[in-house]
Each structure stands twice: as structure tokens, then as C-alpha cells.
């Protein structure tokens, strides 16, 4: 996530390590190093991160992107996701690592992320997350004995409902895309 007018569309893990990683051999401090032109080329990058108690963003990022899990001392760690997003919105050149964008604060640009230079960058859409294309994800899987499907069917229908998808979104969990949720319910009903 970054300022909406930032003329950078994507970053890869190597770029993110250069900005946020404590052990990075090459440090990056300006948006021009990632292709921003004009005024934005000289704007310093300020990195912000949400606390681990408000979702998996910080922990997942440290594990998936930063080999040693350590952020640079210059990364500003906020007390809430709302404060992290506000800091990025209010400052110039901010880059935030957050589990979700709080309601009413979605005027920021969400950058596409690629694993490496040779990989395609993806945004955190339900379709990309479900397909495994967005590289910063942790799938949540429900596991139950197949023979118990009939007795769990009502609960499972609710789990894959639009109502549950809305509730999950409020706590930063991306539900399956509608088509995938409908397919899950169909397959459960066939088992019956």
C-alpha cells in the first residue's frame, strides 16, 4: 500500500527487502530507485508496518519476504492498522504493510507484488489469493471427516455464505471468491 498518486505500480520481494530488510546489502531510500519519475523520483520512502496483534501482515511479511524476519530500524511500527494507514496517507512517500485497509481509508494505492524480477506481480484480490498467485498469503483450510459432511452442512453453508465473507473481511481475512464458495457448497451437497 502506498500514496495514491505514486507512479509505481509494483514491487518484488527483492525491492521490499531493500526498503524494509535489516540485513539488506543494498538499501533503497527513494521511489526513483523503483522507476518513479519526476518529483516522485526524489521522494524518500518511509516504511510503516501494523502490529502483529492486528492480523498476520507483519509476521507473514517477515517470514515470506525477510529471510531473517527482521525489519530495519527505520521501519515505523504502529500501534494499530488504522494508525499505519493514517501515517501513509498523511505523509509523503509512505509504504505500509497492513493486513487490511480500514473502512473509509481505501483511497491508497495497493501495489502489486511479485516474488522476483522474473515473476508476474499480482494484487491481493480474492481470485489471486485463492489461485495462489498473490505471494503474501496464508490459506485457511477447514478439515473434517468426509462422513460428517451431512451433519455439518448447515454450518458449512454459512461458512461459505456472503454474510460470512463480509464478516471475515472486517477482520482482514479474504474469503474465497463467490464462484469458489458456491463450488464448495455444491460439492458438499453432492456428498450428502
The rounded average pLDDT for each run of 10 residues, N- to C-terminus, in the chain (192 residues) is 80 95 84 93 94 90 89 94 93 89 84 96 94 92 87 92 91 89 87 66
Please choose, from the candidates 77, 71, 78, 91, the residue with its C-alpha nearest in 3D space to the C-alpha of residue 18.
71
The pLDDT of residue 131 is 94
Q: Quick one: pLDDT at residue 135?
A: 95
Q: How far apart are CA 136 and CA 119, in angstroms?
A: 14
Conformational region of residue 25, where left means phi above 0, alpha means psi within -120 to 50, and beta covers everything else: alpha
pLDDT score for 2: 65
What integer pLDDT is reported at residue 170 of this predicted model? 80
Determine the pLDDT at residue 161.
Answer: 95
Per-residue model confidence (pLDDT) at position 192: 61
Q: What is the pLDDT of residue 154?
A: 92
pLDDT attached to residue 27: 79
Residue 142: the pLDDT is: 85
Which pLDDT value is given to residue 3? 62
pLDDT at 47: 95
Task: Give CA–CA dist 47/119, Å, rounded.
Answer: 24
Per-residue pLDDT at 122: 97
Please choose, from the candidates 120, 129, 97, 134, the residue with its C-alpha nearest in 3D space to the C-alpha of residue 16: 97
Amino acid at each position: 500500500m502506498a500514496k495514491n498518486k505514486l507512479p509505481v505500480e509494483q514491487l518484488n520481494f527483492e525491492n521490499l527487502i531493500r526498503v524494509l530488510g535489516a540485513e539488506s546489502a543494498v538499501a533503497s531510500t527513494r521511489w526513483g530507485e523503483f522507476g518513479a519519475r519526476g518529483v516522485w523520483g526524489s521522494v524518500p520512502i518511509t516504511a510503516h508496518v501494523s502490529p502483529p496483534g492486528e492480523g498476520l501482515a507483519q509476521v507473514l511479511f517477515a517470514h515470506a519476504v525477510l529471510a531473517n524476519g527482521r525489519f530495519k530500524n527505520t521501519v515505523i511500527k504502529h500501534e494499530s492498522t488504522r494508525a499505519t494507514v493514517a501515517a501513509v496517507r498523511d505523509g509523503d512517500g509512505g509504504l505500509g504493510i497492513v493486513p487490511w485497509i480500514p473502512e473509509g481509508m481505501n483511497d491508497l494505492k495497493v501495489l502489486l507484488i511479485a516474488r522476483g524480477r522474473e515473476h508476474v506481480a499480482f494484487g491481493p484480490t480474492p481470485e489471486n489469493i485463492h489461485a495462489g498467485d498473490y505471494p503474501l498469503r496464508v490459506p485457511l483450510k477447514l478439515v473434517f471427516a468426509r462422513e460428517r459432511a451431512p451433519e455439518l452442512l448447515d454450518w458449512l453453508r454459512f461458512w461459505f455464505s456472503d454474510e460470512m465473507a463480509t464478516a471475515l473481511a472486517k477482520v482482514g481475512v479474504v474469503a474465497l471468491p463467490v464462484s469458489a464458495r458456491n463450488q464448495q457448497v455444491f460439492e458438499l451437497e453432492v456428498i450428502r
